[in-house]
Amino acid sequence: MAAETQSKDSALSAQRSALWKQRTQEQWSANPCGAHIAKEYAFGTREYFDAIEAYRYQVYAPWMREAIGFDKYAGKRLLEVGCGTGTDLLQFARGGAIVSGVDLTPRSIEIVRQRFAVYGQQGEFVEGDAEKLNFADGAFDVVYSFGVIHHTPDTEAAAQEIHRVLKPGGKAIVMVYHRSSLYYWLGLMVKRGILRGELCKYRPAEILSRYVEHTESDGRPLVKAYTRKEARQLFRRFRECNVEVNQLTREELGFVGRLLPESALQFLARHFGWNLMITATK
């Protein structure tokens, strides 16, 4: 009886996992990363991609270029897990890295191929699952993943796969969402959960899935958030692991944000921002 129950539980777990992955594909097929920023331009043109890039690094997250160091990996084999439409992967390629991108969504792979062609850059792009990467052990010097593995049902498996495909001494650069952030508590749990009464209808995880990602199609992909301690636990197989916090805009703080000195805003971003940046060495 116990074996039968366990088998049924495994089957249900597999069904839930498949459903979440289907939602992920639907979300980013209908809403390619950054597309809502570039609506005034013809899809797939240089102007279209330039607008998405400018917004990402000048408005949304000006700290990214310095923190990630896109130009530090010339000649290195670099894999992006969840490459989306290739905004970040293109920066690594421009910096001289030998790049590969994998994404669960076929539409994203089509777009990233087009993007690299527009800019005359080379790369390898394949459809694949972060939980089961189709690459050999020790194939890469660097694995990068920004805002991706918290969308897959088995994030633990994704972290293990990142470790597996890295060479000894290889580097993982990964962003997951930060549960101890102002956005999580004030923007989601207080504003939507308490003031709008949604915690009476939905669990916190459901509120995340309903509101975190930009959507025009009601995709509601799986979304998880982690504390710094939990993030280190995910990457415990690595011999070194550093976790830093960033990502907070003045707009998120409303009228208070307009009054804050830049130094105060940066202090809050580094302690209560929405992104946990994990840098780990195998």
Q: Is the pLDDT of residue 23 over 90?
A: no
> What are the residue ranges spanned by the domains of the chain?
2-281
Contact status, residue 142 vs residue 71, Cβ threshold 8 Å: no
Q: Is the pLDDT of residue 210 over 60?
A: yes
Q: How confident is the model at residue 51 (pLDDT cuts 50, 70, 90)?
A: very high
What does the pLDDT average to over 198-217? 88
**Pick the residue with more confidence: 26 or 87?**
87
CA distances from 152 to 59, 218, 222, 223 (A): 27, 18, 7, 8
**Which tokens go with 267?**
């202090």
What does the pLDDT average to over 22-32? 87
Q: Is the pLDDT of residue 31 over 60?
A: yes
Looking at residue 254, what is its pLDDT? 85
Looking at residue 20, what is its pLDDT? 87
Contact status, residue 77 vs residue 166, Cβ threshold 8 Å: no
Q: Is the pLDDT of residue 174 over 90?
A: yes
Q: How confident is the model at residue 5 (pLDDT cuts 50, 70, 90)?
A: very low
CA distance 34 to 242: 28
Residues 125-159 pLDDT 10s: 999 999 999 999 999 999 999 999 999 999 999 99
Looking at residue 217, what is its pLDDT? 67
Residues 220-265 pLDDT 10s: 889 999 999 999 999 999 999 999 999 999 888 888 888 999 999 9
Q: Is the pLDDT of residue 270 over 90?
A: yes
**Pick the residue with more confidence: 257 or 217?**
257
CA distance 191 to 146: 26
Q: What is the mean pLDDT of the chain?
A: 92
Fold of 2-281: Rossmann fold (3.40.50)
Phi, psi of 211 (to 5 degrees): -125, -10
150 CB contacts (<8 Å, ≥6 apart)?
176, 177, 223, 224, 225, 226
CA distances from 219 to 28, 111, 129, 213, 282 (A): 8, 19, 19, 9, 35
Looking at residue 255, what is its pLDDT? 87
Q: Is the pLDDT of residue 99 over 70?
A: yes
